[in-house]
Amino acid sequence: MARNIILTGFMGTGKSSVGKKLSRIRGIGFIDTDEEIINEFGPINIMFENHGEEYFRKCEREIVLKVAQRSEIVIATGGGVVLDPDNIKVLEDSGEIICLTASPEEIVNRLTRAEEIGVRPLLNTKDPYDAISKLLAVREDVYEQFVQFDTVGKSSLEIAQEINDFLVGRN
């Protein structure tokens, strides 16, 4: 079975845009787990409001199990997917997990430009920079276990090409 390429990392690091470019470079499919969650369960912010984060994470696990059964695709995950060790195991069994990174300042800038700061449930706060910094600190140990690519100052195409070159060099 052909291996998947799984992109993880904090929100705003470019997982979806890089994933789409990487899938084109490699000539394989692309799946965004957040989009799959929305298609199956409804808007994420509404899920958080009505049912809480625990319910969202349960739905997320279901989607991870489903998409990991596919082969030879690029999977862009939500930033918290890898907080669950079971998700890591399922994803590692299906392919290679790569973590995209960016500084808190860059994440705030990107999410502000995309008008997503107020829409993201975990950033629905008066100080998104502080929330991002705290979440990154909590997730740092989890993210560090994967190969990392810094996305600051690079286009999504440049990052996708770097990842592809890295993967080709390993084969």
CATH 3.40.640.10 for domain 4-164: no
Stated pTM of the model: 0.91
pLDDT at 9 over 80: yes
Mark residue 75 as left, alpha or beta (left: phi above 0; alpha: psi -120 to 50; beta: remaining). Answer: beta
**Domain residues of the chain, as ranges?**
4-164
Reported as a single tens digit per residue, the pLDDT across 13-72 is 999 999 999 999 999 999 999 999 999 999 988 998 899 989 999 999 999 999 999 999
Reported as a single tens digit per residue, the pLDDT across 109-162 is 887 776 665 555 556 667 878 888 998 999 999 999 999 999 999 999 999 999
Contact call for residues 99 and 136 (beta carbons, < 8 A)? no
Q: Which two tokens stand for residue 70?
A: 């596919």
